[in-house]
Structure 1
């Protein structure tokens, strides 16, 4: 099996962005005209890393990284939930610290489920579309392919997360406002970072001597071999 110099680094960055953005998503923030969960500030980078992984290394290796992120996200959620459930000492400082921890990191099962399902569907949709478009365009029009796949992946991710996590809890007008804000912001980041994506992809293709085309790939997301 071919080895790569930078695949491990990109995988680590991808997972860190994923976990940190999910922690930050516990707060709804105002950012200029946008209203969204705090994780949206960082989460678009996960899709950019996903684009780079699929474009350079192919869908099969991207699939492994997506599953790695999925299980580590699940591990972080279970760890935070367990720590939140365990009792704290009875002194005032420990009780206040435990309350603050539970408020921020003691995620309810509904939000954990929303994060996992939305991430899984969105990332695989993004990677699949990008890989298919690369073959169809014979590797041309990188910007069109990355933005096009993000339009679908981020749309699915945002809609699924909000519906599972907050439907029936938030007012429908707020849900729609947050969805539109999230979607425009995430896609806008993808467009804004397109020159950087071009530069990173070009560097990695030269450094790794790899430019993978998924012509004979099994796109089953569960086929890890």
Structure 2
């Protein structure tokens, strides 16, 4: 019996339309640029998170201004290039964040020059608290991998349809895990439980709203990127182990 080909909006797993999977050695023109943008967003958000901002009755870390964009980058990477390529960029972001925290901690600890009077201000802004660093790194890893996994699995299940459902659905899961892990590790014992749950819910809702508002732009970027790269990866046989680095 002849195998029936599955037709997808941008590519196929088997069949007679052009293969748009990402194969080893395939030239990718924009992958590195998107990866650098993702890492930059993560680093800037980590520094901005040192300040608490008030948006009406909501008090949130300043990183909320930019950090949700990292999930948009993750959606674009996963949707176009697949889980394994997204996994590589997530680990690059983790490594850059870790090194940044180490460098800032070391620089703050080093004695200031006698003529430089800003040690206190510098330490206040860039002196990372170890507990916050651990919370941020673990929440980042868990949230980003969950976001990417949910998106690529939904893509296969929906046969590439309803991108909005995948981006928002994956964000609901990823941002939820990220917000919960960060708040539990960073603030348990430092504030009353009702206050912590309110803060967690507030941050989570703002991040999800950000994703919903930006969805039309995500559509445009994904469509243009798939056409420019000639790729549209489907994770049918992917190893989803987050610790596989090949």
2 CA distance for matches of 1:63 and 1:177?
31
Alignment correspondent of 1:12: 36
State the 1:215 CA deviation.
0.3
SS at match of 2:60: strand
4+ residue runs over 4 A deviation = none
Kindly provide the CA deviation profile for residues 103-157 of structure 1, in whole angstroms up to 9, marking residues without a partner as x. 1111111011011000000000000010111001100111011100100100010
1 CA distance for matches of 2:209 and 2:62?
16
Specify which of 125, 142, 161 is matched with residue 163 of structure 2: 142
Answer 1 or 2: which has greater helix percent: 1
**Alpha carbons of 1:181 and 1:213: their partners in 2 closer, same or farther (altered >3 Å)?**
same
2 CA distance for matches of 1:7 and 1:186?
25
Q: Is residue 108 from structure 1 mapped to residue 129 from structure 2 by the alignment?
A: yes
Q: Give the number of equivalent residue pairs.
A: 222
Q: Is residue 69 from structure 1 mapped to residue 90 from structure 2 by the alignment?
A: no
2 CA distance for matches of 1:84 and 1:220?
37
SS at match of 1:193: helix
1:31-180 mapped onto 2 (5 Å cutoff): 31-91=55-115, 94-95=116-117, 97-180=118-201
Q: Give the TM-score normalised by the residue count of structure 1.
A: 0.96
Alignment correspondent of 1:207: 228
SS at match of 2:159: coil
2 CA distance for matches of 1:19 and 1:208?
27
Moved more, 169-178 or 185-194: 169-178
Residues 35 and 177, structure 1, Cα contact 8 Å, conserved in 2: no
Alignment correspondent of 1:182: 203
1 CA distance for matches of 2:191 and 2:218?
36
Q: What is the RMSD computed on CA atoms of the aligned residues?
A: 1.0
2 CA distance for matches of 1:26 and 1:171?
21
Specify every segment of 5 or more residues in structure 1 that has no aligned partner in the other structure, as ranges: none
Residues 28 and 37, structure 1, Cα contact 8 Å, conserved in 2: yes
Residues 150 and 187, structure 1, Cα contact 8 Å, conserved in 2: yes
